[in-house]
Structure 1
Amino acid sequence: MLLVAGPAAAQADLFGVVADAESAGPIVGAAVVLTDSAGTVRGRGAGTEGQFVFRGLLSGRYVLRVTALGYAPLVDTLALADGERRDLAVSLTPRTAALGAVEVEAIEGAAVREPGLTRLRPADLAALPTLDPGGDLASGILAQPGVSTLGDRGGQLSVRGGTPTQNLVLVDGIPLFQPFHLLGGYSALPAGVVRSADVYAGGWPARFGGRIASVVDVTGRTGHKRRVGGAVTASPVLLGAEVELPIVPGDMSFLGSVRQSVVEQSGEALGIALPYRFSDAYGKLHARLDATSTLQGTVLFADDEGDLGINGNRITTRTEAAGGQFFSISSAFAAAIDVSAYWSRFTTTFDPIGAPFREASAETFGGRFGYVYYVGPHTVRTGIQASSYLFQYSFQPNAETGQNTSEGSIFVDADLDLGAGVRLEPGLRVQTFPAQARTTSVEPRLLMSWATGPSLFRAAAGVYRQEIVGLQDQRDVGDVFTAWTTTQTAFPVPTAVHRLVGWEGGFGPVRLGVEGYAKALSGQTILLDGRLLSTNGNARGVEVTAALRRPGLRLDARYGAQSLTYRDAERTYRPPFHRPHRLSVDGRVERGPFALAAAFQLTSGRPISEVAGAYLDLTEAIARGIPIEAASGPGVVLFAPEPYGGRTPPYARLDVSAEWAVRIPGARAVVQAAVLNATDRANVFYYDALRAEPVNQLPLLPTLGLRVEVE
């Protein structure tokens, strides 16, 4: 209890951070409430580093109450003096009750999808069935109604009509060019290292820029600062290990993970062709410098090799990234500052049979400086960012192209609390591309929300531009080779104008949500038929979500309907990631040490270009004098003039898993049996014209895995 006397005339400020009393990690989203002697209540939600601010308080006595999911509430009394600026460290003690992830969430109340934004937490990832008991970030992203893929392989995600290279993925503030593995359902991050992931499918604020389809902002956990912990995972898909340990007890910790796939070897034992090898590693050093300041560093690595068409065409990808961040909120600044630096590199090769070897790389380094100012219940964010890019690519031997470019931006956005549940979030981002001699890009943004009773209404609109583009062969789903480059000088900068409106509300244990959106797309650089085209388009859709939470029970249903059209100078067509309808239903039931989970997906088929014919090119063989009956050569496929005139059959898949958890001395063990594509449905990936047969998605795949967590 803190007692400081003073007359009730001047104003005081309170700056603080909420942290876990055992791990010393920040508690994001903790509810911080101050009540004065007259009964006036003020509330704040703890930010990404657990921070909160109350400014303009009258001097006097206050009751402070802090609550958070999975923690015992804290109640204390503060006395603030005239003109005082106080820094306050708040520690919450985890609940001692041993509750499953589903039970904890049900007791605290469900937090479901807000319009324009999906917030994924560890409980969301743990509830979905996966091929190994460790889980993965990708499973939560793929469950969203606005996200579609070309297949169970390739690591290519389209969000509400955008191309896969129009998504901005940040991990601890570091941008990644390719965050997903070639084998569907796996990213560079296991679920055990993820603290939260904000998935913006549209209408994101001005502090994010440089992409036009979506933003996935991932924050990794911090390691435990008071004890050593970890986990090991083994399954027919991968082997993995995680470790967390204090470096300076109470102040500095390390969290790390490594994974190595074994699915290729397991597939051979089962007689299933699964030609994929991947590995990844993640490490994070986190230090609390004082009560309200932190410093962290992150490194990430991911490596892939595979054959998407199972026909000998090998592709490799590698992602390497590192970054650091300093954050401080204190009375000395009367605000918060956020300074970060990052480096990220992506390399890929493609060795198709009968075609030239290709290789490409993309590299960026840069930094950000952000400043957050608190004015009463309002928040104003401003910042600057600068990035440099180096691109290299080769589509033919000894014909490498290299490019250097740079990008600078400033932004300001505000979160204005107008009272009566109304919030207004105007923002402006200004981007410049000095190396490209482009006109400065001005991008206004506006978000609005109104909370009344159990309902939340929200709308957003904004302009988004993307100067750097990733080029992929749009007609061949087995070819995910990506060459990053700048927009050609003769082309306009790819631009998207977002508009969305939504509602969500609660009815007891059930929460419902609906959102409609429209995106006007212009100047998109598309590689089609070996030509670069500047393409316009329109994406429109509606998404409906329903969630049920009870102790030991979790159910989610999501439906998305979409209309997507692209137009270039010659034609109008539906692009390959257009899925008019998408339904997903998943649930998890926990009873004592046992848990059952299931996830069902039903999706419209995707557009494909119809094949007019195919043949083997024997020109070189005949020129060498090989008899025609013994000659062979590369395959040549002739497509119909109009792209994407056909469509694959609908896609349907059921995944199930069963778990048994048992306590052993000093640890918790989970045994999981899972089946991917439990009905063994033959979902079509693409049609092989040379063999005149379809190539299917992943078949029925059973797994048995074990995870042991040291406590």
Structure 2
Amino acid sequence: MCPLGYNGYEPKIMKLKNVFLTLFSLLILSTLGYAQDNTVRGFVFDQETKEPIAYAKVILKSKSETPTTQGANSDLDGFFSLAQLDKGFYYISVRASGYLEIKDSILLDKEKSIQNLRFDLKKPEDVKEIEGVEISASDKSKTTEVEISMVKLDQKGLERLPSFGAENDIVSAISVTPGVVTTGDQGGQIYVRGGTPIQNKILLDGMTIYNPFHSIGFFSVFETELVKSADVYTGGFDAQYGGRISSVMDITYRDGKSSKLGGKFSISPFMAKAVMEGPLTRSKDSNSNAGSTFIFSAKKSLLDYSSRSAYPYVNNGSGLPFDFTDLYGKVTFKGDMGSKVSFFGFNNNDRVNYANVADLNWTSSGGGLNFLLIPGSSPIYIKGHLNASGYNIFFQENDSLAPRESSINGFDLGFDFTYFLKNQSEINYGINLGSFNTDFVTYNSTTLTKIQSKENNTEFAGYFNYRLITGRWVIQPGIRLQYYASLSELMPEPRIAAKFNATEDLRFKVSGGRYTQNFTSAASDRDIVNLFYGFLSAPTSIPSTFTYPNGKVVDVDNGLQVAWHAIGGFEYDFTKNLSLNVEGYYKYFPRLSNINNNKLYDDISAFYYIADESKKDFLIESGFAYGVDVLLKYTKDRLFLWGVYSYGKTRRWDGFEYYTPLFDRRHNINLVGTYAFGEKKNIELSVRWNLGTGLPFTPTVGNYQGETFSEGVTTDYTTSNVSEPSLLLGTLNSARLPTYHRFDITLKQNYELKNKNKVEIIVGVTNVYNRENIFYVNRLTNEKIYQLPILPSVGVNYKF
């Protein structure tokens, strides 16, 4: 037998540690060596609001007999950098979507220097000029970044999609992302290209959000009004991200407005919410961005109060059983040249009572700081974060004797460094330190014995990315070293991505890598309905060996989960407005951990002769997922169209046989359309249709009168009379539920008042043709609980 982990191989661990330290020593030395050329860098701001402008295009052209040109795009903070420039005279131009172009010049008269610039762009009156700039910036990004298995969203993009309950939410955008499967309107979890919810990493300004979705699947804990960007990676993500093996959703909130006090209030049958923001202090210099700002948001579900009267036909008049509250606040201190530090905090809670099924509630809270530092004498761009958070969940099934509980608490500290090279090439590297503790309590479904796991864990990681742009190629190798201190495991995670710009309109791209994670779900992937979303660290109560499908037997040291990704595809622009993206993927999971629902014996010495699979709390599994995702997108002026088709197949191996997990959806289609009417484009119609083929379930093949042997070995089975029949189940997940499909429509009307404040009225209908999609079936009574029925709603919001 061969080992599945590294435990017991101390020389190998020490060798990897030495490699880790050597790597980062070389990074520091290389950075010092690079700082020998001229660098032109700075920020781009809105002249009126003083807010940073993302994706502005900065072009530098030398004045010489053989002129050279360099370009860069500003990031979400408005920052740009042009590095390794020779001495000489340069023309510089800055342009962005929705702003007039700025042209200037600059003289670099030293062998090495750092020139810090600031540009304040003014909005133009000519709309045609705006559209030309937008297309140019978009085209440039496609050729300089790999952007594989990635969807970029901003607040405007989120508001294009149909809203649920007259409220926009990031859930609607994530659910139409290629490769994403949702199991329905209730439960609030997503599955990405064969991965489970616990394998998705959700970040908000660098902080891990343990449960981002409310039990009603329409709403998340995030406030759309605050979202600056939302990047969704469905696989093949670079070495900056670690700790998860399936996907990453990196969400960034904007800072409060520095120009004036503002806000937004909205109300609908589903919720009420408020956003307030504005300056706390300002610089006396009107051209300076120095000062401090605040932003605060709160939203509260109203379904407990409104659903019985607004939707009397739901749940036999008892209404919708969902209740949630979300609070968030941030204060930001800014320097004149873009450096800043932010302090933030949040609190989220969720409660739901599914009639005759289960009661569930969870809370999440935390806070921290993040900063952006632009050293005046160094070409390095530095970001960092320090945060702490906690999450607790309680779950009680109505037919269960005892509840399930789970909690996780911890902190995270990280630093990210960027060094800009010539022609938009760049080096990224960073370090991360995290510590957390988990506490999990459940009961075995067969023996009703208590299972409890308390763990303390520390993780340390370092990563290195290098993006090289040369000719038609964009090549991005990377490496992440993830050290799990509690397990004495140092896991190397190589990553690679590349793009080839075959023509101006056709681009090929590939990516791949190794990924590991310490977290394990506190729910079984075999459960019919997954409502309980708890956390565990890598379990140790696992079988000592694992048998792969080919018969190979390996030793198992721990329950760390491991995956390999391989992705390839192409992009093609039919026109400036119409594009096609096709990607094929294969994910191999050599090691997964899952709760052992088949445990029959306690893991004690008296049962030494019993196989581990019948007495350990957790099982080791392997598996694979493969598929194809197709995205067709059209954007022009008033019209936005988005069409997604996904084909996927996922299989798990438990050491004895293959089985299909509950989220294996073979075909998934999402069609989205938005059109703006009126001279001022102040009326907007949005529609969305989703179709997903049936999810797997285990069929009931018969009933029999079971025997509980309530009197032990003396029980007389000929006279005992069990009150409820027992079920005889068929092959695990061998049947399929009916096809899921739903059509949603939203109509928005905007009014601008004399004081330039705005009122928006939203009318929406979810599940327009009232499709009865199955959510849960009671096997004994055959009682069916459906997903949400037709839900019309009207909402209004006031923005100032």
Aligned to 1:486: 537
The answer on 1:65 being equivalent to 2:93 is yes
1:299-448 mapped onto 2 (5 Å cutoff): 299-307=345-353, 309-311=354-356, 313-355=358-400, 356-377=402-423, 378-395=425-442, 401-418=453-470, 420-438=471-489, 440-448=490-498
Whether the 8 Å CA contact 2:700–2:730 is kept in 1: the answer is: no
Whether the 8 Å CA contact 1:497–1:521 is kept in 2: the answer is: yes
The answer on 1:240 being equivalent to 2:240 is no
Q: Return the letter of the residue paired with 1:248.
A: T
User: How big is the shift at 1:297?
Assistant: 2.1
The answer on 1:449 being equivalent to 2:517 is no
Equivalent of 1:287, from 333, 356, 369?
Answer: 333
Aligned to 2:780: 690
SS of 2:374's equivalent in the other structure is strand
User: How big is the shift at 1:97?
Assistant: 7.6
Whether the 8 Å CA contact 2:181–2:190 is kept in 1: the answer is: yes
Whether the 8 Å CA contact 1:637–1:689 is kept in 2: the answer is: no
Aligned to 1:462: 513
Kindly tell me: are residues 692 and 102 of structure 1, through their superposed partners in 2, closer, same or farther at Cα, counting changes over 3 Å?
farther
Equivalent of 1:89, from 108, 113, 118?
Answer: 118
Aligned to 2:683: 594
Equivalent of 2:77, from 49, 67, 75?
Answer: 49
User: How big is the shift at 1:688?
Assistant: 1.5
The answer on 1:181 being equivalent to 2:214 is yes
Whether the 8 Å CA contact 1:241–1:259 is kept in 2: the answer is: yes
Equivalent of 1:23, from 26, 49, 61?
Answer: 49
SS of 2:307's equivalent in the other structure is helix
Which moved further from structure 2: 577-586 or 67-76? 67-76
Equivalent of 1:229, from 241, 262, 281?
Answer: 262
Q: Distance in 1 between matches of 2:669 and 2:194?
A: 17
Kindly tell me: are residues 607 and 444 of structure 1, through their superposed partners in 2, closer, same or farther at Cα, counting changes over 3 Å?
same
SS of 1:140's equivalent in the other structure is helix
Per-residue CA shift, 1:599-631, capped at 9, x if unaligned?
0001111011223457999989999xxxxxxxx
The answer on 1:579 being equivalent to 2:687 is no
Aligned to 2:752: 663
Q: Return the letter of the residue paired with 2:418.
A: V
User: How big is the shift at 1:370?
Assistant: 1.9
* TM-score normalized with structure 1 length: 0.91
Q: Distance in 2 between matches of 1:347 and 1:634?
A: 36
Per-residue CA shift, 1:272-314, capped at 9, x if unaligned?
131111111222222222303121122222111113x432511
User: How big is the shift at 1:25?
Assistant: 3.1
Which moved further from structure 2: 156-165 or 368-377? 368-377
Whether the 8 Å CA contact 1:103–1:550 is kept in 2: the answer is: no
Whether the 8 Å CA contact 2:165–2:791 is kept in 1: the answer is: no
Whether the 8 Å CA contact 1:245–1:253 is kept in 2: the answer is: yes
SS of 1:24's equivalent in the other structure is coil
Q: Distance in 1 between matches of 2:292 and 2:725?
A: 59
SS of 1:395's equivalent in the other structure is strand
User: How big is the shift at 1:60?
Assistant: 2.5
Whether the 8 Å CA contact 1:139–1:185 is kept in 2: the answer is: yes
Whether the 8 Å CA contact 1:107–1:550 is kept in 2: the answer is: no
Kindly tell me: are residues 702 and 203 of structure 1, through their superposed partners in 2, closer, same or farther at Cα, counting changes over 3 Å?
same
Per-residue CA shift, 1:502-542, capped at 9, x if unaligned?
11121222111111111011211122535522111111111
Q: Distance in 2 between matches of 1:706 and 1:53?
A: 42
SS of 1:192's equivalent in the other structure is helix
RMSD of aligned Cα (Å):
2.8
Kindly tell me: are residues 173 and 636 of structure 1, through their superposed partners in 2, closer, same or farther at Cα, counting changes over 3 Å?
farther
The answer on 1:536 being equivalent to 2:622 is yes
Which moved further from structure 2: 291-300 or 442-451? 291-300
Q: How many residues align?
A: 690
Per-residue CA shift, 1:626-676, capped at 9, x if unaligned?
xxxxxx999887462532111101100000011111112331111111000
The answer on 1:262 being equivalent to 2:302 is yes
Q: Distance in 2 between matches of 1:634 and 1:182?
A: 34
Whether the 8 Å CA contact 2:167–2:795 is kept in 1: the answer is: no
User: How big is the shift at 1:12?
Assistant: 2.2
Which moved further from structure 2: 283-292 or 166-175? 283-292
Kindly tell me: are residues 115 and 374 of structure 1, through their superposed partners in 2, closer, same or farther at Cα, counting changes over 3 Å?
closer
Q: Return the letter of the residue paired with 1:262.
A: L
Q: Distance in 2 between matches of 1:573 and 1:693?
A: 27
User: How big is the shift at 1:168?
Assistant: 0.4
Kindly tell me: are residues 620 and 442 of structure 1, through their superposed partners in 2, closer, same or farther at Cα, counting changes over 3 Å?
same
Q: Distance in 1 between matches of 2:240 and 2:725?
A: 47
User: How big is the shift at 1:73?
Assistant: 2.4
User: How big is the shift at 1:66?
Assistant: 1.7
Whether the 8 Å CA contact 1:615–1:690 is kept in 2: the answer is: no
The answer on 1:40 being equivalent to 2:68 is yes
Whether the 8 Å CA contact 1:603–1:652 is kept in 2: the answer is: yes
Whether the 8 Å CA contact 2:268–2:796 is kept in 1: the answer is: yes
Q: Distance in 2 between matches of 1:298 and 1:124?
A: 25
Q: Distance in 1 between matches of 2:274 and 2:120?
A: 29
Whether the 8 Å CA contact 1:103–1:553 is kept in 2: the answer is: no
Aligned to 1:569: 655
Q: Distance in 2 between matches of 1:554 and 1:515?
A: 22
Whether the 8 Å CA contact 1:37–1:61 is kept in 2: the answer is: yes
Which moved further from structure 2: 84-93 or 180-189? 84-93
Per-residue CA shift, 1:188-240, capped at 9, x if unaligned?
11211101011000111101000000000000111110111111111111101
Whether the 8 Å CA contact 1:533–1:568 is kept in 2: the answer is: yes
1:119-268 mapped onto 2 (5 Å cutoff): 119-249=152-282, 250=289, 251-268=291-308
The answer on 1:503 being equivalent to 2:570 is yes
Whether the 8 Å CA contact 1:319–1:345 is kept in 2: the answer is: yes
Q: Distance in 2 between matches of 1:634 and 1:46?
A: 70
The answer on 1:518 being equivalent to 2:586 is yes
Q: Choose between structure 1 and 2: higher helix proportion.
A: 2
Q: Distance in 2 between matches of 1:63 and 1:636?
A: 83
Per-residue CA shift, 1:221-264, capped at 9, x if unaligned?
11110111111111111101111111123422112211001123
Greater Rg, structure 1 or structure 2?
Answer: 2
Whether the 8 Å CA contact 2:389–2:409 is kept in 1: the answer is: yes
Q: Distance in 2 between matches of 1:327 and 1:337?
A: 6
User: How big is the shift at 1:364?
Assistant: 1.9
User: How big is the shift at 1:35?
Assistant: 1.2
SS of 2:377's equivalent in the other structure is coil
The answer on 1:78 being equivalent to 2:86 is no
User: How big is the shift at 1:68?
Assistant: 2.1
Q: Return the letter of the residue paired with 2:397.
A: P
Where do 5+ consecutive residues of structure 1 fail to align? Answer: 1-9, 624-631
Q: Distance in 2 between matches of 1:158 and 1:326?
A: 32
The answer on 1:701 being equivalent to 2:791 is yes
Identical-pair percentage: 27
Kindly tell me: are residues 160 and 705 of structure 1, through their superposed partners in 2, closer, same or farther at Cα, counting changes over 3 Å?
same
User: How big is the shift at 1:319?
Assistant: 1.6
SS of 1:264's equivalent in the other structure is helix
Whether the 8 Å CA contact 1:145–1:583 is kept in 2: the answer is: no
Aligned to 1:3: none
Q: Distance in 1 between matches of 2:379 and 2:135?
A: 37
Q: Distance in 2 between matches of 1:84 and 1:107?
A: 30
Q: Distance in 2 between matches of 1:496 and 1:639?
A: 35
Whether the 8 Å CA contact 1:467–1:493 is kept in 2: the answer is: yes
